Amino acid sequence: MRYYAIVVKGLEEIALSELREKLQGVHLVEKSKGMVSFNYSGPPRELVKLRSIENIFIFLKIIKGMSRSRNSLGKIYKVVKGIDLGEALFIHRQLHPKRGRRKPTFRITPNVVGRHNFRRVDIRIAAENALEDRYRWKVDPSDPDLEIRIDLEGEEALVGLRLSDKIMRRRPYKVEHTPASLKPTVAYCMVRLSDPASGDIFLDPMCGAGTILIERAKAAPYDRIIGGDIDREVLTIAEENVIASGEDIELRRWGATALPLDDASIDKLVCNLPFGKQISSPQDNRKLYIGFFAEMERILKPKAKVVLLTSEERSTDRLISKSGMLKKLRKFSIELLGLRPYIYVLEKS
Give the model confidence (pLDDT) of 208-237 as tens digits: 999 999 999 999 999 999 999 999 999 999
Alpha-carbon gap, residue 252 to 269, rounded angstroms:
15
Backbone angles phi, psi at 191, to 5 degrees: -60, -45
Residue whose C-alpha is closest to residue 198's, from 179, 177, 224, 178? 224
pLDDT at 278 over 70: no
Indicate the helix (H) or strand (E) that contains 32.
strand 27-32
Min mean pLDDT across 191-205, 211-225, 241-255, 277-291 is at 277-291
What angle (nearest 5°) sits at the alpha carbon of residue 268, between those of residues 267 and 274? Answer: 140
Q: What is the pLDDT of residue 282?
A: 66
- Burial letters for 314-330: b for 16+ Cβ neighbours within 10 Å, e otherwise? ebbeebbeebebbeeee
Is residue 91 within 8 Å of 163, Cβ to Cβ? yes
How are strands ordered across the β-sheet holding 2-6?
Answer: 27-32, 35-39, 2-6, 55-64, 156-162, 146-153, 105-113, 138-139
The mean pLDDT value for 261-267 works out to: 98
Per cent of the chain over pLDDT 70 is 97
Is residue 168 within 8 Å of 57, Cβ to Cβ? no
Alpha-carbon gap, residue 226 to 204, rounded angstroms:
7
pLDDT band at residue 129 under the 50/70/90 scheme: very high
Q: What is the pLDDT of residue 306?
A: 98
- Please give the domain boundaries of the chain with CATH numbers for all domains: 2-168 (3.30.2130.30), 171-348 (3.40.50.150)
pLDDT, tens digit (0-9, with 9 covering 90-100), for 91-102: 999 999 887 667
pLDDT at 347 over 60: yes
Indicate the helix (H) or strand (E) that contains 284.
helix 282-299
User: How far is C-alpha 74 from the chain's CA centre?
Assistant: 34
